[in-house]
Amino acid sequence: MKILVCNVGSTSLKYRLFDLTNGEDTLSEGRMERVGTQAGAWTHKDAGAEAVKQTLPIPDYATGIRLMQVALLERALERMETLDCVAFKVVHAKGVTGVQLLDETVLSAMAAFNTVAPSHNPPYIAAIRQFQHALPNTPMIGSFETGFHADMPPKAFLYSVPINLYKTHAIRRYGFHGASHEYVSTRTAELMGHKDFKLISCHLGGSGSLCAVVNGKSIDTNLGLSLQCGIMHNNRCGDIDPYIPIYLMKDYGYTLEQVETMLNKQSGLLGMSGVSNDLRDVEAAAEAGNEDAKNAVESYCYQIQKQIGSYAAAMGGVDAISFAGGIGENSALVRKKALEGLAFMGVALDLEKNEGAKPDCELTGKSSRARIFAIATNEEIVVARKAKAYLLEHA
């Protein structure tokens, strides 16, 4: 069974072609970073071959998809039609979650939430339509990022606004990064050797979220109706006082569009540092003495730290903390600063192991009661397994 998984991130396009017939073989995989710029970075690797790295303009997702198709047909696939399905790590749809065949009803439900997921839903819908056009007889299956959080209790998902907004407009906390949090929970359970424990899963990438997981189930997470809240993101603001936009619009004449662009594209690490939306650049600028960049890094880590404390309180303790995502896996500085001073609650990082850590690995300090891990998340395998189960169930 050949399944191509496409992961259209906020700044990246990752893909992996699996053969799940007998085992879980990866035939080909690749990632494009800095999508939307003239300086895109593309790595493509076929099984048994060296990775090919290129720097080239990837101005939009459509270009990225075309490049990917050409690369897959060179070696891994004879024809695109030999795929059993294309599976997508889709983000958000009104009234729809879990694993779904991406038909017109589901695409419309996704479009109905374009306003709350403006950086994610439109590129996803465009990518899915492009595949539907190229492969009209191949099923397109979506695994929604909200699925892992679907059983959160009302006290975690209801907002303190008039209850009618939930009842009539479906305004509630949904949570995202479900595939990553699910992978991290499962992998952490393997490393812990048992399943019943309290975990804080920190998925830190271009978008980031934390999730409180009790015995493998999400009980709370810090993304909401949109991906606009929680900790700051690469260029999105995270939690801010909801009166900031109202004040700017009423007293300073900002338009709705200006406020939306500011919150959605000009804030977060980019907006605070004035340097870049990529933490690597912001860390380098901070190191070189840029005060705004230093504040951005400090704030980013402080926000993660406060969320960890809050989830430890919500769960009545914490047995494990796992870091994943481009930042969680690679930034020793973020892991160190986020966990600094948490010895009072039994959390202490091994500072030596933390430097240059290669996930998957354990970073638990000697005095720590909670175990700490860096995990190379694999959202694609979670999506591929779900797509396979769907195809078998609906065969």
Amino acid at 251: D
Judged by CB under 6 A, the residue of 64, 147, 224, 326 near ligand ADP is: 326
DSSP string, 342-355: -GGGT--B-HHHHT
In the bound complex, what is the minimum distance in angstroms from residue 303's beta carbon to ligand ADP?
A: 15
3-class DSSP state for residue 268? helix
Angle at 144 between CA 77 and CA 174, to 5 degrees: 160
- Beta strands of 50-136 (E only): which ranges? 52-58, 85-88, 99-101
Applying CB under 6 A, does 9 fall inside the site for ligand ADP? yes
Applying CB under 6 A, does 11 fall inside the site for ligand ADP? yes
In the bound complex, what is the minimum distance in angstroms from residue 25's beta carbon to ligand ADP?
A: 23
Applying CB under 6 A, does 169 fall inside the site for ligand ADP? no
In the bound complex, what is the minimum distance in angstroms from residue 58's beta carbon to ligand ADP?
A: 13
Judged by CB under 6 A, the residue of 331, 364, 368, 378 near ligand ADP is: 331
Say if CB 230 and CB 223 are below 8 A apart. yes
Report H helices in 147-278.
154-157, 163-169, 178-192, 243-252, 256-265, 268-273
Say if CB 237 and CB 267 are below 8 A apart. yes
Applying CB under 6 A, does 147 fall inside the site for ligand ADP? no
Site for ligand ADP in 208-237 (CB under 6 A): 234
Say if CB 330 and CB 278 are below 8 A apart. no
- Nearer to ligand ADP among residue 327 and residue 387 (C-beta): 327
In the bound complex, what is the minimum distance in angstroms from residue 89's beta carbon to ligand ADP?
A: 10
Q: Which two tokens stand for residue 389?
A: 């189960």
In the bound complex, what is the minimum distance in angstroms from residue 326's beta carbon to ligand ADP?
A: 2
Judged by CB under 6 A, the residue of 10, 28, 185, 305 near ligand ADP is: 10
- Dihedral-angle region of residue 131 (phi above 0 means left; psi in -120 to 50 means alpha; beta otherwise): alpha
Say if CB 155 and CB 191 are below 8 A apart. no
| Cα 11 to chain centroid, rounded | 11
Say if CB 383 and CB 87 are below 8 A apart. yes
In the bound complex, what is the minimum distance in angstroms from residue 113's beta carbon to ligand ADP?
A: 19
Judged by CB under 6 A, the residue of 40, 139, 230, 325 near ligand ADP is: 325
- Nearer to ligand ADP among residue 205 and residue 238 (C-beta): 205
Interface characters, 269-298, with ligand ADP (x: CB under 6 A): ---------xxx------------------
- Nearer to ligand ADP among residue 148 and residue 197 (C-beta): 148
Amino acid at 343: A
Number of residues forming the site for ligand ADP (CB under 6 A): 16
Which residues bind to ligand ADP, rule: CB under 6 A? 9-12, 205-207, 234, 278-280, 325-327, 330-331
